[in-house]
Every structure is written in C-alpha cells, then in structure tokens.
Amino acid sequence: MTFARNQVAIAGYAQSPIVRHADRTLGAIAVDTARAAIADAGLNVADVDGFTTGSLLPSSGGQAIVDGMSIVSAAWMAESLGVNPRFCSGFVGYGQIPGSVSLAVNAIASGAAETVVVHRALHNPPKGRYHGNPMTKAPGTAQWMAPMGYWGPLSMIAIPTMEYMQRYGATREDLAEVAVEARANGAQIPWSYWYDKPLSKDDYMAARVLSDPICMYDCDIPVDGVAAFVFTTAERAKDLANNPVYVQGFGMGSPTRARIPQHWPLEDIVDTGAETAARLWESSGLSVRDVDVPQLYDGFSPLVWWWLESLGYCERGEAFRFVSEGGINRANGGLPALSSGGAIGNGRMHGVPQMLEVYLQLAQRAGERQLASANVGVACHSSPHYGGAVLYSAHEL
C-alpha cells in the first residue's frame, strides 16, 4: 500500500478572529474566511471544485444544530460560494481535521477534484452551558451514562487521566506544565483568545477542579472561529502564491473493544494511539526523528502526554516526567509541541491551531515564531485512539 506522497499540497489559508461570541453569524464568517483563503492562494472562487469539512459541534449539550448558524457543512459552503462542486463531503467522527483533510487528499489524488477548500467552523452557543443538558429521559446510548450521573467530556477524560496518575505517579503539578506551556505560547499569538494572557502555575493550581483531576484550565475555552485551507495538486501549487506544503502521510484509527459509550479507558487510548502513529510513519516513510514541527493536540491537557507516548517521543508512563523536565518548553529549547498555543492557548478551534502552525512553519510564514528548522510537521487532532494525524513536508520527498 502506497500513500499519495508528493501529489497534494496546501496552497493557502485564512483564519477568522477567535472570539468568545462573534457579532456575526458563523456562516458569514465562514464564507469570508473561505474567500480569503482562496485569495491567499492566488486563486479565484471559480478555481475551486471541491469542499470538505467536519462540521461537528463538539458539545454534549442540548443545542439546536442549524447549518450556517451553529455548524457550517461542506454543502452549505459550496452553495453559499456559488460553486457546483465536483466533490463535496463531510467527515463524520472524531478527528475532524485529519478526517476532512483525508477526504480532500483522496479527492485530489484520485482526480475527483483539483482544488479543495477544507474549512472548520467552531461555534460557542450564546445561551446556556456548553455541555449542560437538561434531559430527564435517557434513551439510546445516553441510558448507559446519564442515569448514573456520568455525562460530558470532562468525566470522560478525567477517568483515564486518574488512571494514568495513579499508575505512574503523575500529579496535577505535572498536568499544569502542559496548560502553562500552551498558554505561554498562546499569549504571544495575536489572533488567540488568550493573547497577552499567560497562565501562571499558581493560578492553575488554585483553579476549581471540575472532575478530578481535571480543572478548568485543562480544558480549552469555547469560541467562535473559522479556518480554511486550500488544497490542490502539487503541480498546481508550485505555480501559486505561497510555498507549497506537501501532504506526505496520514494516520487514523478507532478502537475495536466494546465499551460503554464515551468510556475511554487508558489502554484504549495508548494501544490504538500506537497503531495510529505506526500508520503515520509507514505511510510517510519517515519516523519521529524526522519531525521538526510536532503539533500535539491539547483539547484536554493530558492528551499531550498520550500523543507524546503514542508518537514515540516517550515510553508509556513517562510523558508526564518528560514534560515536567522541560521536554516541551519551547522557550528553553524543548520540542515546539505547543508552539501554536494549541487549543488551550487559542480557544476551542479543534485541531486548527496544530494544522495552522504546521502550515505556517513549513511555508516559512510563521513570522516571529518561525523555527530555524521547519521541514517536516505533524498535525494531531483529538485523542490518539479516535483522532489522527497528518504529516506534511516543506519539500517533496
């Protein structure tokens, strides 16, 4: 099996401001962002013939789903831009960023489309709690969770985090190092919700614990924001405005063990995560040692530990110590794993900060954050066992 290396590239991008609540509809922001990305690539809307996205509103709350308002589907985007697309598809599942990128790569490599806009629109509903749910009846999958008082992603992530801490001796002090690093970087990024607002370790330790051991600063804050990337053939990208960034590898997966819904035991995360990483390295022909722009997903801070272990930066049970000893401390020469600020340092942009940072670094467009060496990047999203990662390079391999 051979991955479509050197065939597909990112040609341009745009991102909206990241705000708590936008004063315009999500659809309007998404269309503006897509048009800006197409222009950034040096193309016109008429040059685009494909659209993909993952449109999940990542909430367990009782919010209404309205296309163009609370979500933005690929079909809504195509129609709103006035394009009759050759290819239009939405990814369903966790890992919306690698998932929707894979749809675009497949479409371009197969010839189903030539130039595809991949967008991601995230919404923070204006009323109510993001994950609050007033249900009084629990049908379907909810019957296995809500009647017992188990609900929402905080407890879902808290249970494997507690197991990890108990098994390996990690503490909240160790988890603090992830959140503080994400916010230190996010504080230097002008578009971040947390721009100029770093987090001190003392503030982290004093924060309210919501579901032991997870506190509010282990979570990304819900926001309104949109990003769009323009993918096209490598041949065409070479003639366009920006340095092409090539798609060179892909890994996703999902566990096969039967579980209660939204129960994420630690062994599922790291076992399937290792398989996902193996697929990433096999498809790219590269290894973790070749990566100079690793961007690990941090929608919850412990996910950074598990991506470090899944990708092979650390043995199982050792990532917390690696992080606490400065292993991802960018300012002191550690891996730039959260140089984007991540989700914790930007807001709940669901894998966009990781992908954007890989793109900006590899295209030599990262400005003051530009790394001296930026040849191979990995953009991770979601959990290692349900999400995935895409490997990019600055040059053909």
Listed in sequence order, the residues at least 6 apart from 36 whose beta carbon sits closer than 8 Å to its beta carbon are 14, 228
Which C-beta is closer to other proteins: that of 107 or that of 158?
Answer: 158
Burial 176-209 (b: 16+ CB within 10 A, else e): bbbbbbbbbbbbbbebbbbbeebbeeeebeebee
* Smallest separation (angstroms) from other proteins to the CB of 5: 36
> Between the CA of residue 218 and those of 93, 97, 328, what are the distances in Å?
23, 21, 16
Could you identify the residue written with the tokens 């697309």?
85
* Neighbour count for residue 153 (Cβ, 10 Å): 19
Q: Which of 23, 64, 82, 140 binds other proteins (CB under 8 A)?
A: 140
Which C-beta is closer to other proteins: that of 154 or that of 394?
Answer: 154
* Smallest separation (angstroms) from other proteins to the CB of 319: 18
Identify which of 284, 277, 276 has the alpha carbon closest to the alpha carbon of residue 6: 284
* Residue 134 sits in the site that holds other proteins (CB under 8 A): yes
* Residue 158 sits in the site that holds other proteins (CB under 8 A): yes
* Residue 82 sits in the site that holds other proteins (CB under 8 A): no
Q: Which of 52, 53, 55, 60 binds other proteins (CB under 8 A)?
A: 60
The residues with which 300 forms a beta bridge, in sequence order, are 219
* Residue 17 sits in the site that holds other proteins (CB under 8 A): no
Tokens of 369: 């954050």
* Residue 192 sits in the site that holds other proteins (CB under 8 A): no
* Residue 212 sits in the site that holds other proteins (CB under 8 A): yes
Piece of the chain touching other proteins by CB under 8 A; list 41-49, 99-107, 150-158, 371-379: 150-158
Query: Cβ distance 307 to 380 under 8 Å?
Result: yes
* Residue 160 sits in the site that holds other proteins (CB under 8 A): yes
* Residue 151 sits in the site that holds other proteins (CB under 8 A): yes
CA atoms of 245 and 233, how far apart (whole Å)? 11
Listed in sequence order, the residues at least 6 apart from 291 whose beta carbon sits closer than 8 Å to its beta carbon are 376, 377, 378, 391
- Rounded to 5 degrees, what are φ and ψ at 242? -115, 165
* Residue 127 sits in the site that holds other proteins (CB under 8 A): no
* Residue 207 sits in the site that holds other proteins (CB under 8 A): no
Piece of the chain touching other proteins by CB under 8 A; list 109-117, 194-202, 219-227, 253-261: 253-261
Site string for other proteins, 331-370 (x = CB under 8 A): ----------------------------------------
* Residue 247 sits in the site that holds other proteins (CB under 8 A): no
Site string for other proteins, 257-276 (x = CB under 8 A): xxxxx-x-xx----------
Which C-beta is closer to other proteins: that of 143 or that of 370?
Answer: 143
Q: Which of 45, 148, 241, 331 binds other proteins (CB under 8 A)?
A: 148
CA atoms of 317 and 248, how far apart (whole Å)? 29
Listed in sequence order, the residues at least 6 apart from 35 whose beta carbon sits closer than 8 Å to its beta carbon are 14, 45, 81
CA atoms of 16 and 18, how far apart (whole Å)? 6
* Residue 242 sits in the site that holds other proteins (CB under 8 A): no
* Residue 172 sits in the site that holds other proteins (CB under 8 A): no
Question: Where on the chain is the footprint of other proteins (CB under 8 A)?
Answer: 60-61, 129, 131-152, 154-155, 158-160, 162-163, 166-167, 208-214, 257-261, 263, 265-266
